[in-house]
Structure 1
């Protein structure tokens, strides 16, 4: 049932934890300027976490602009926090300091019964029948855009794929082509995502947080105008389905609930997939032997089914899926996942007090050699059934886990397969000689130089 629950009934009174409460946990001493420590982390999150882990072990205290907390590393930590069997950890209170001003009441910012009810209601948009309908729109958009990419000159892949995924999100999620609005929509979402990790947390004039809040206002106004047009209609886009979705008591989502969910889902759909497809194209570019193996698989599917990828053939792109998973391992689109402890708990002999910010780190776990031999190497065969059989279930968590496992993960797989089917059918991926990308990991990974690439015809 969907009965409003008072916050105090779910969340105990939680004061921020102090250094003294975490003094028994290994970690760095208090910083004189914690903003400086935050900036150092944002410049090199992977290197910072690796250094802290090497110095203090898989459990360490940390300090940033949000105060004191702990980081727990490894698959066992991921399972404890993400599976959350005993309901110790709050996703809402973990993400709120980062996202509350920008994506309030999105699915990731809900817990327990509220989350269950809303997730079940939203899941209608990701069932097999609508997913099959989405594929047609994805294919048309991908074909049109890739055909327009240059064949005889280099291009920056990251901004190009970002524009494409935004267009695809507009088509599948909203059922309309953006046309001249595309640039404004793109800017609004980019500002919202960048504001999530802005050092200045208040929307003061000329700050990134101010731009992010304005971006949210722009998108919220758009959705608010559109909702009345969608009520009572039947259509294949996600927006219309969510507008008309009923919970288990037959109640429609309110306008504000629709706005909050659509803001969050649009962000999650196009920013994380932009990152993931960029990293996949990069790794195929520096591993041409794998590019050819995937192309052979794509050619086989084309020979059997024709030039348009049908929904029933998605499962035949096994190597494409494994390569996508390997790219997600090497560059997870959500490098760190925050939670907040609702009560005391123990992990690896350390007692962690209620109120602590608790972070797990896919970026670190995905590179642990005890779970991923030669972890820097791109090897999609790590995801064969045989190679995966004895691996810890929570050693690979690009989509999170437990009740908060990404609702749109199958949509992401479908979109990635549709894109690679078209790209590898028509083009080769060629990177500059000796090129190696450097990824900026937060808020969502992206290559610092936009990923220069040439895509000549086969």
Structure 2
């Protein structure tokens, strides 16, 4: 039996040291867990990249809710279902490392982002950054979002590719809300840098060799971090200091009153900008597509929005959605939740076990890379009847109470719950308030775009829609 480092000797109430590490298990250590090794050397890497959704369903149906898989140079154990999600996300024993789970994929691209931090280190930095998402700053962002969205979508009548349009708008909105200004002539390069970082996260070649996607991603990170470090120094010198998110981050303090290091602020900004830019773009795109496919629900949301805002003014200009009225769009929020169920922007989440644990009748050794599949859990038919059907009524308060709390997890959960989830809800609600008071969103009969499912879902053709003025 190949040796695995012993479980870390500690009391369950203690926080593991930041560098807690145990060795990787091999095939013999995981022999009792069902699954597949795949092809020699590469394992299942290319099968997984070719069809991640189909691969996960085949493994689940063949082996059940606990299975092993060899890909990207090592063994992984998947745990499927709400109970698995709760075990890993709540992590009451502080047994699952997010840093070591995401590290092999993201350490060259988003080091020191919140997602790559564990336990006390994560808690301290998260608390410092959370100031940017308090009611005061959020009210400021809401006003900026409403103005920026209104100015842009007023010109969206007719046919267009929605994904590139909303991606550029989301980047521009992020500049206003996050930086308090615009990206200026750097906007195309910044947009491409985020694209390169995200695509590098699933590149088969994991070293930044010349002409590889990983090299593009690493170079993109260097460019963005340099940009954000310079901005941090400007804000701390009082230049451009305001209510924007970056000003909040640049001046955030830890519990002892110390400022975050400049390079830490830059890394946090790089990660949060990517999350806000790409995941909101993905989720807004899926929601617009589903509303175009389901015009009855589109009309119901339009009626709700008009009832809350008062509808367009005497000149036909839509009234904006006030910050205090965000909570009144209950049907709109339910529709957004259903879109996030059908097409979660982060389809799977990895962790690494710091010591052995048991789940589903199997003992999983310490050091194992484990993960759960958000997209698969969101379509388990015993939890979600007729799972492919768009039905926002799944998210009434009564329906949510009757379901396992961890059956729906597009924002993660526990200590690593998405810090910007309320920002995402706010931006999408404001977007729909402006769109649906102006247009009827239509698609060609029988149109079904093909989606790139990984790492962040997007329609391969850009999503062809028509905005028909009301």
Shorter-chain TM range is over 0.9
Distance change in 2, residues 1:23/1:249 (3 Å) = same
- Residues 207-232 of structure 1 show CA distances to partners (whole Å, capped at 9, x for unaligned) of 10011011111111111221121016
User: Greater CA deviation, 86-95 or 38-47?
Assistant: 38-47
> SS at the partner of 2:94?
coil
Q: Does 1:44 align with 2:51?
A: yes
Distance 1:336 1:8 in 2: 24
User: Greater CA deviation, 13-22 or 398-407?
Assistant: 13-22
The answer for the alignment partner of 1:174 in structure 2 is 179
Distance 2:124 2:37 in 1: 42
- Residues 331-352 of structure 1 show CA distances to partners (whole Å, capped at 9, x for unaligned) of 0011000000000000011010
CA contact (8 A) 1:94 1:357 kept: yes
The answer for the alignment partner of 1:235 in structure 2 is 242
The answer for the alignment partner of 2:199 in structure 1 is 194
Q: Does 1:216 align with 2:216?
A: no
> SS at the partner of 2:402?
coil
Tell me the matched-pair count: 449
Q: What is the Cα deviation at residue 12 of structure 1?
A: 3.5
TM-score for the superposition, normalised by structure 1? 0.96
- Residues 179-237 of structure 1 show CA distances to partners (whole Å, capped at 9, x for unaligned) of 22110000001000100110011111111001101111111111122112101644111
The answer for the alignment partner of 1:378 in structure 2 is 390
CA contact (8 A) 1:66 1:97 kept: no
CA contact (8 A) 1:88 1:342 kept: yes
Distance change in 2, residues 1:13/1:129 (3 Å) = closer
Distance 1:455 1:38 in 2: 40
The answer for the alignment partner of 2:435 in structure 1 is 423
Distance 1:356 1:59 in 2: 13
The answer for the alignment partner of 1:3 in structure 2 is none
RMSD: 1.4
The answer for the alignment partner of 2:230 in structure 1 is 225
CA contact (8 A) 2:140 2:243 kept: yes
Q: What is the Cα deviation at residue 305 of structure 1?
A: 10
> SS at the partner of 1:22?
coil
> SS at the partner of 1:62?
strand
The answer for the alignment partner of 2:8 in structure 1 is none
CA contact (8 A) 1:17 1:69 kept: no
Q: What is the Cα deviation at residue 30 of structure 1?
A: 4.6
Q: Does 1:138 align with 2:145?
A: yes
The answer for the alignment partner of 1:20 in structure 2 is 28
Aligned ranges 1:141-156 → 2 under 5 Å:
141-149=148-156, 151-152=157-158, 154-156=159-161
The answer for the alignment partner of 1:4 in structure 2 is none
Q: Which of residues 30, 39, 59 in structure 2 aligns to 1:31?
A: 39
User: Greater CA deviation, 295-304 or 318-327?
Assistant: 295-304
Distance change in 2, residues 1:290/1:304 (3 Å) = closer
Distance 2:306 2:258 in 1: 47
> SS at the partner of 1:453?
strand
Distance 1:134 1:120 in 2: 20
Aligned ranges 1:410-449 → 2 under 5 Å:
410-449=422-461
CA contact (8 A) 1:232 1:244 kept: no
Distance 2:36 2:463 in 1: 35
The answer for the alignment partner of 1:296 in structure 2 is 303
Give the ranges of 4+ consecutive aligned residues of structure 1 lying more than 3 Å apart after TM superposition: 7-13
> SS at the partner of 1:300?
helix
More helix by share: 1
Distance 1:397 1:145 in 2: 31
The answer for the alignment partner of 2:7 in structure 1 is none
Distance 1:177 1:65 in 2: 39
Distance 1:13 1:245 in 2: 30
Q: What is the Cα deviation at residue 438 of structure 1?
A: 2.0
Q: What is the Cα deviation at residue 125 of structure 1?
A: 0.3
Q: What is the Cα deviation at residue 20 of structure 1?
A: 0.9
- Residues 149-190 of structure 1 show CA distances to partners (whole Å, capped at 9, x for unaligned) of 2x23x2111111110111111111111111221100000010
Distance 2:204 2:55 in 1: 17
- Residues 52-106 of structure 1 show CA distances to partners (whole Å, capped at 9, x for unaligned) of 0110001000110140010000000000011111111000000001110000000
